[in-house]
Amino acid sequence: MDLNNQEKTPVQDALAPLTQMEKKVVSLISHGLSTLEIADRLCLSKSTVKTHRHNICRKLKLPKNQNALLNWVLLNNHLIR
């Protein structure tokens, strides 16, 4: 099977516009880490992680509430990891 010719999943398409750091944040959210834990893991400030989360929500066209990104990750968790 040629992996280069496989069709992308809707989740892969949704994640395509994200930066590498934003993709790391999504991955860590999918593993159950909090904003503070993500900040510690990536050596970032909590504020920077919040900015990444905001940008991810904007790029994924999610509602502007705290649970929207978490809900999206939970629904697509099996495709993110």
Q: Is the pLDDT of residue 1 over 60?
A: no
Give how far the C-alpha of residue 53 lies from the chain's centroid of Cα atoms, to the nearest Å: 8
CATH number for the domain whose boundaries are 14-80: 1.10.10.10
Task: Report yes or no on whether pTM surpasses 0.75.
Answer: yes
- Residue 79 vs residue 17, higher pLDDT: 17
Provide the residue type at 5 as one letter. N
Hey, how many other C-beta atoms are within 10 angstroms of the C-beta on 56?
25
At residue 6, the pLDDT reads 63
* 8-65 pLDDT, tens digit each: 677 777 888 899 999 999 999 999 999 999 999 999 999 999 999 999 999 999 998 8
CB 25 within 8 A of CB 53: yes
- Residue 77 vs residue 46, higher pLDDT: 46
